[in-house]
Structure 1
């Protein structure tokens, strides 16, 4: 591990090349992308023993939160804020693993539902326990920093068009 901060050095390069007005923003975006990479390594490490990726975990977790354990594929994509192709791919893998079934809605056979199986419920509970223990309970900064960062990222998301509702 190097004792040099490549993002700080890149920021200085921005300043040296006459892009000083963009240097702080570049450093923020690059830091955010790097933090995302580091957190995803931890998340994927916690999920790997369960045979899940984060995308598949999110599908299972969302389905498990519904009363019926099923949801139209289009609604899944909307709630997860991903392209329909990504949902289809994740659901296909979950079907192969036996964690999800594809069903047709009785009242409209055109609607395809994803439905969590008993095995899917079991694996999502075990995976959630791993994520809570290995990542979410101790993400790497203090609780106050977690709350502040979440609020700050909410402002960034809101400025980019996301609906963000702050809680008291």
Structure 2
């Protein structure tokens, strides 16, 4: 077995900063969404992913893959959204075992109410903290990582 390729000081610092920044942004976004919209960040993501589809519907397995979450975690979030009337679970045409999450009109309205504050905070925390040049380079790097890791996530599937 080959020796591991240890991270050098710059790489380790960048990794630690990435973890810290991600945790801070996730916490602040979650706090803002709960305060302003009564939604958790994962719940907002479910609503947004459903709204991004032409008919506001996705199979639960596709939704779990898109949100990169476990099936059980998604089931919980959809259950909470269903209780609030924002999402409905429906049978899947052509697959009696399949379940579809469908965005309700009440869910669309909740998303429309939550989106402006969410977008403003994401801009403040994520975009405006860097120069255009820095953000462009960062976005390109994230695009590469996203492509590589999404392929890996699709091959292995979300973990339960």
| Partners of 2:52 and 2:82 in 1: CA distance | 18
Please point out which of 68, 71, 85 is paired with 1:98: 85
Aligned length: 143
| Partners of 1:94 and 1:130 in 2: CA distance | 20
Question: How many Å apart are 1:138 and its aligned residue?
Answer: 5.8
Structure 2 residues not aligned, in runs of 5+: 1-5, 152-160
| Partners of 1:67 and 1:161 in 2: CA distance | 26
The yes-or-no answer on 1:162 pairing with 2:157 is no
Computing the radius of gyration over CA atoms, which structure comes out larger, 1 or 2?
Answer: 1
| Partners of 1:87 and 1:21 in 2: CA distance | 34
TM-score normalised to structure 1 length:
0.75
Q: Which residue of 1 aligns with 2:10?
A: 24
Structure 1 residues not aligned, in runs of 5+: 1-19, 164-168
Q: Counterpart of 1:162 in 2: which secondary structure?
A: helix
Provide the alpha-carbon RMSD of the alignment: 2.1
Q: Which residue of 2 aligns with 1:166?
A: none
The yes-or-no answer on 1:144 pairing with 2:144 is no
Within-5 A mapping of 1:1-168: 22-48=8-34, 49-136=36-123, 139=126, 140-158=129-147, 161-163=149-151
> Are the equivalent residues in 1 in contact too, given 2:25–2:125 (CA < 8 A)?
no
| Partners of 2:142 and 2:18 in 1: CA distance | 10
Question: How many Å apart are 1:161 and its aligned residue?
Answer: 3.8
Question: How many Å apart are 1:157 and its aligned residue?
Answer: 4.3
